[in-house]
Amino acid sequence: MPIYLILDMLAQGFTRDEMLDDYGITEEHITLALRYAAEYLKKEQVTEG
């Protein structure tokens, strides 16, 4: 499962339980996707607007 899909599902409001039960995503997938995003953003300057 691509990281961007996991992050997109979370952003759309999918619950962890929905993702685990309906899409075969594991807790580890979710955790790794969030860690990846956090590490990526640490290296990038994020600005609003």
CA distance 31 to 41: 15
Q: Report the pLDDT value the prediction gives residue 43, as an integer from 0 to 100.
A: 85
Give yes or no for a contact between 34 and 9, defined as CB atoms under 8 angstroms apart: no
CA 22 to chain centre: 16
- Kindly report the pTM of this predicted structure: 0.79
Q: Report the pLDDT value the prediction gives residue 34, as an integer from 0 to 100.
A: 97
Reference 36, options 25, 47, 28; nearest CA is: 28
Q: Report the pLDDT value the prediction gives residue 44, as an integer from 0 to 100.
A: 76
For residue range 1-49, list pLDDT tens digits in order.
899 999 999 999 999 999 999 999 999 999 999 999 999 988 876 565 5
Give yes or no for a contact between 43 and 16, defined as CB atoms under 8 angstroms apart: no
Q: Report the pLDDT value the prediction gives residue 11, as an integer from 0 to 100.
A: 97
Q: What are phi and psi of 6, to 5 degrees?
A: -65, -45
